[in-house]
Amino acid sequence: MPPPRTFVRRHGLTTRLTHWINAAALLVLLLSGLQIFNAHPALYWGDVSTFARPWVAMVAAERGGEAVGITKLGPAMFETTGVLGFSGNEVRGFPSWATLPSYRSLADGRRWHFAFAWLFVVNGLVYLGAGLIGGHFRRDLLPGRDQLAPRHLLREIVDHARLRFAKGEAARRYNALQKLAYLAVIFVLLPMMVLTGLSMSPGMNAGFPWLPELFGGRQSARTLHFISASLIVLFAVVHLAMVLLSGPVNGLRSMITGKFAIREDAR
């Protein structure tokens, strides 16, 4: 007989609503952002585009009479035909299935991107305000001193690597790795993505010319925007994998109804 379950309140209504709005907005921002990136699929450091020396570039080249996709990463070059550089019988950084819209249109990509960027910012401010006023950050996301002990962190890393998930009382709160990851995304990566995005706006540059200089120049801001977005995608992939491995029904229930089932440890 399985151990009895206890249902606890894991997420408040505001957290649940802003979570799903944020997920939808980030998906649209990612797909439309790749459409914008396809207009010039290369990244640079500094204030101007040094076309001869991109640190990342997705290009097409001819090999044996056929077009192939090439991804350059510093001095290294990789053939990525069908995915990056050349796909669907056309030269494009990312394939059509990864962009919004799927057809080549910088103007439409920008419309989608800017519209959902404002939704993302407003939704994020609502989440931050509710989290600060309601104590969500202090109560649920701020690691305790015991959780930050090196021995404890090492044990959590080993448990995650072995796919051993918390049970009983330990499952009532986020573990230290979850808390640190959420805090890094909320207070580092997401603000970085927003600020670097604003740094590439001509209107913002005119009103606040110092903004892109905070990141080392306009092209550095574009690079950091791409890197922060990529790290957020990596976080989302790991997050989804952990939800699926630890129990998708329980995880989804907690983010839809707010109720999370705790099974007592049978040991």
Give the residue from 67, 98, 129 where a domain finishes: 98
Other Cβ atoms within 10 Å of 52 Cβ, number: 5
Which residues fall within 8 angstroms of residue 103, CB to CB, at 6 or more apart? 96
What's the whole-model pTM score? 0.89
Q: Which of 262, 266, 265 is nearest to 10 (CA)?
A: 262
Contacts of 184 by beta carbon, 8 Å cutoff, 6+ apart: none
Residue after which a domain boundary falls, among 98, 125, 146: 98
Chain position carrying tokens 């009532």 = 172
Domain of residue 116 covers 5-38+99-263
For residues 77 and 176, membership in a common domain is answered with no
Number of domains in the chain: 2
**3-class secondary structure, 8:** strand
Q: What string of pLDDT tens digits covers the 267 residues of the chain?
A: 566 678 888 888 999 999 999 999 999 999 999 999 999 999 999 998 888 899 999 999 988 889 999 999 999 999 999 999 999 889 999 999 999 999 999 999 999 999 999 999 999 999 999 988 988 888 888 998 888 899 989 999 998 888 888 877 777 788 899 999 999 999 999 999 999 999 998 888 888 889 999 999 999 999 999 999 999 999 999 999 988 988 889 889 989 998 888 876 544
Last residue of a domain, one of 98, 124, 139: 98
Residues composing the chain? 267
Residue 102 structure tokens:
């799927």
